[in-house]
Structure 1
Amino acid sequence: MNMKVETNSSFTEPKTKQRKSWHVWWNLLRPHTLTAAFIPVFIGTVYALHIGGIDKINLPLFFMMLLACILIQAATNMFNEYFDYKRGLDHEGSVGIGGAIVREGIQAKTVLYLAYSFFAASMLIGIYICIHSSWWLALIGLLSMAVGYFYTGGPLPIAYTPFGEVTAGLFMGVIIIGLAFFIQTGTIVPEIIILSVPTSILIGAILLSNNIRDLDGDQENGRKTLAILVGRQNAIRVLAGMFIISYIWCVALVFTGMVSAWIFIVFLSIPKAIAATKGFIGKRIPLEMMPAMKATAQTNTIFGFLFALGLLLDYLF
């Protein structure tokens, strides 16, 4: 995404015009990132079963929460597309799924307006959720949307700082899981925060893998990401450490009696975590690191689904 490119001070629409079809718009959503939005909703809802039982689960609220989170994540991806183009970071040779503006000829303002419309839709859904739960959620929702916008927008984007991974993990992990749990139970318990930690770490790992891939280009464009601050080799070690901590955390959850041994089903995702880590070792060309980045996202997806399944099995048996 952030390979070296000559940046012009003027902001003009790209001249490239290519075939537009459904997959262009689908890629604009960056679907591989959307699992980071809906898996936390699953986890928070499944743990709500442990508190209120299946009779207390409000399915309409679950689906509305799910849709709102996906819309906010998709809008955040579009803001990323727009602002990367506006700052001259994206071009036709950029590596990654982004590039609807520079490669497919979609108007930049179209991407921006579509992102705003997704935010508007999520706000309408949020009103429905607040009516059936608490209006305090509106404040949290607005804060989450602000973070989505300022992740790549504004004078000092979060993505340009070392705090991208922490921010993503907090808002897409801890907060979404907590909100999904709250709208079903009407309360927040310490356990839900503790249970959200491993998923939050792996969401942050997706951002770190992206920053490892784009390290050289980010550095040339003045970013100060965590990967840049610690260096490529140490960033890979941090990524491996994030995987390890997530699995150790699950072991601790079992040994403290917070969940049963069903949660060990997450260990089935370990091969993907290993593949992700090894895929970065010795690589410097962004295209060569794409499989490792994909494996990191897949680790989060598989781990998250298995974690939710483990919680469900714990409730049932």
Structure 2
Amino acid sequence: MSLNSFLKLVEIQTKAASMIPFSLGSLYALYRFQQFNGKNFLLMFISLLAFDMVTTAINNYMDYKKAIKTYGFNYESHNAIVKYKLKESTVIGVIGILLAIAVIMGFLLYLNTNIVVLLLGVVSFMVGILYSFGPVPISRMPLGEIFSGLFMGFVIVFVSTYIHIYDQNIITLFYSNGMLRLEMNIIELVYLFLISVPAIMGIANIMLANNICDIEDDMENKRYTLPIYIGKEKALKLFKALYYITYIDILLLLVVGVEPVISLLMLLTLMPVRKNLKIFDETQTKKDTFALSVKNFILINVSRIFAIGTALLINFFLVH
């Protein structure tokens, strides 16, 4: 397998969907708690990147195996197995190696933190695999947007924050004398969820845009996604609404003082986002307009990372 075919199989360009929430969580740990653990950061980075590639490779492999319509842009150009004539055994081998790396790094991360990281990691791995694999994969149901948004948008942000502050009682799980006790700092957990909302909505919209563009192909291939259930018109309205929820969330975070004031500049991204929404509303194709959902996600969330990073630098120079 060549490097180009490997990168296409794992769709390396889509890894921003996991790396951006990961970066956001790490910066949030620094900004709010003044904590950063370099070893845990590196372990999670490797595990997360490897597992993200696993889920994409499995998704491409299952699409290849279950495809009924075997022609057109989505099949002939989008699927690396077809485009590069990859052997099934090679693809399965790559998936196995990447999964082993993800599991080993994840287990080392657990040993360096606590049981909360292990439990969330196990659940995330299960959801990631079941997303494309099994008798009824999540990606072939009207639940893809919910699962991808919550697990990639919230769980990644939460864990990438938690690995730096696991000893500060945000969530603590105790087992003693047959009793299991869970303690949570509700306020900080609510703040973490609100911090994650732009990532949740952006990732859900990437999935939604993908499914809107693929309505006809998905019906032929018996993938009963959310736009097929609610119709294209309602799906497009939902697509717009999720972005506006993002900006409402940012304003709320500014009001409660969790987001730095410099994040007000983020509101400027509303103009290009609205422009992209108008273009997507007119035409929905994988080849021409799907990328707009990815651009919106990157535009909104990278600007947040820039804002929090800038606030950190300002605080550093003020202290020193």
After alignment, is 76-85 or 60-69 more displaced?
60-69
In the other structure, the counterpart of 1:128 is 108
Residue of structure 1 aligned with 2:159, choices 165, 179, 183 = 179
Give yes or no for contact 1:173–1:196 (8 Å, CA) kept in 2: yes
Residues 100-132 of structure 1 show CA distances to partners (whole Å, capped at 9, x for unaligned) of: 111210012322221222111011111221121
Code of the aligned partner of 2:243: F
Segment drifting more, 88-97 vs 25-34: 88-97
Q: Is residue 2:278 matched to residue 1:278?
A: yes
Distance in 1 (alpha carbons) for counterparts of 2:272 and 2:52: 24
The match for 1:9 is none
Return the letter of the residue paired with 2:50. Answer: L
Other-structure match for 2:8: 27
Query: RMSD of the alignment, in Å?
Result: 2.0
Tell me which residue corresponds to 2:63: 84
Residue from 38, 47, 56 that aligns with 2:28? 47
Q: CA deviation at 1:310?
A: 1.7
Give the C-alpha shift of residue 271 in structure 1.
4.3
1:11 aligns with none
Q: Which amino acid aligns with 1:307?
A: R
Sequence identity percentage: 26
Give a deviation string over 1:29-63, Cα, whole Å, max 9, x none. Answer: 2123200111111111111113432xx31122212
Which stretch shifts more, 221-230 or 196-205?
A: 221-230
Between the aligned partners of 1:104 and 1:93, the Cα distance in structure 2 is: 16
Identify which of 120, 123, 141 aligns with 1:140.
120
1:201 maps onto 2:204 in alignment: no
Residue 92 of structure 1 and its aligned partner are, at CA, apart by 4.9
Task: Identify the residue that residue 292 of structure 1 maps to in structure 2.
Answer: 289
Structure 1 Cα separation of the partners of residues 147 and 264 of structure 2:
27
Corresponding residue number in structure 1 for 2:256: 256
Secondary structure at the residue paired with 2:93?
helix
The size of the alignment, in residue pairs, is: 293
Runs of 4+ in 1 over 4 A off after TM superposition: none
Please tell me whether the aligned partners of residues 54 and 98 of structure 2 are also in contact (alpha carbons under 8 angstroms). yes
Q: Partner of 1:63 in structure 2?
A: 42
**Partner SS for 1:102:** helix
- CA displacement, residues 1-56 of structure 1 (integer Å, 9 cap, x when unaligned): xxxxxxxxxxxxxxxxxxx6432221112123200111111111111113432xx3
Rate the CA distance shift 1:302–1:67 in 2: closer, same or farther, 3 A: farther
Q: Once the 2 structures are TM-superposed, how far is the Cα of residue 311 of structure 1 from its aligned partner?
A: 2.1
SS of the residue 2:245 aligns to: helix
Q: Which amino acid in the other structure matches residue 102 of structure 1?
A: V
Task: Output the amino acid matched with 1:181.
Answer: T
CA distance in 2: counterparts of 1:264 and 1:114, whole angstroms: 44
Following the alignment from structure 1 to structure 2, what is the Cα–Cα distance between the partners of residues 123 and 269? Answer: 37
Which residue in the other structure is 1:231 paired with?
Answer: 231
Q: Which has the higher mean CA deviation after the structures are superposed, 271-280 or 103-112?
A: 271-280
Question: Could you tell me how far apart the structure 1 residues matched to 2:61 and 2:27 are?
Answer: 36
> Which moves more between the two structures, 33-42 or 271-280?
271-280
My pick for the range that moved more, 181-190 or 268-277, is 268-277
Q: Report the Cα distance in structure 2 between the residues aligned to 1:150 and 1:33, rounded to whole angstroms.
A: 19
SS for the counterpart of 1:224 is: coil
- The 1-side partners of 2:90 and 2:298 are apart by 30
User: How big is the shift at 1:222?
Assistant: 2.4
| Offset of residue 82 of structure 1 | 0.6
CA 1:269–1:119 in structure 2 vs 1: closer, same or farther (change >3 Å)?
farther
Q: Secondary structure at the match of 1:258?
A: coil
Q: Say if 2:140 and 2:224, in contact at 8 Å, map to a contact too.
A: yes
Q: Is the 8 A contact 2:194 2:249 kept in 1?
A: no
- Report SS of the residue matched to 2:288: helix
Aligned twin of 1:73 = 52
Displacement, 1:198?
A: 1.6
The runs of 5 or more residues in structure 1 that have no matched partner are 1-19
Deviation digits for residues 189-210 of structure 1, max 9, x if unmatched?
2211221112111111100010
- The answer to whether residue 147 in structure 2 is matched with residue 167 in structure 1 is yes
Give the letter aligned to residue 209 of structure 1: A
CA contact 1:275–1:292 (8 Å) conserved in 2: no
Whole-angstrom CA distance in 1 between matches of 2:294 and 2:305 = 17
2:176 equivalent in structure 1: none
* Counterpart position of 1:307: 304
Q: Contact 2:58–2:129 at 8 Å: present in 1 too?
A: yes
The whole-number CA distance in structure 2 between the counterparts of 1:166 and 1:157 is 14
1:36 is aligned to 17
CA distance in 1, matches of 2:239, 2:3: 34
The structure-2 alpha-carbon separation of the partners of 1:95 and 1:271, relative to structure 1 and needing over 3 Å to count, comes to: farther
CA shift at 1:86, angstroms? 0.7
Write the mapping of 1:102-113 to structure 2, written as runs, cut at 5 A.
102-113=82-93
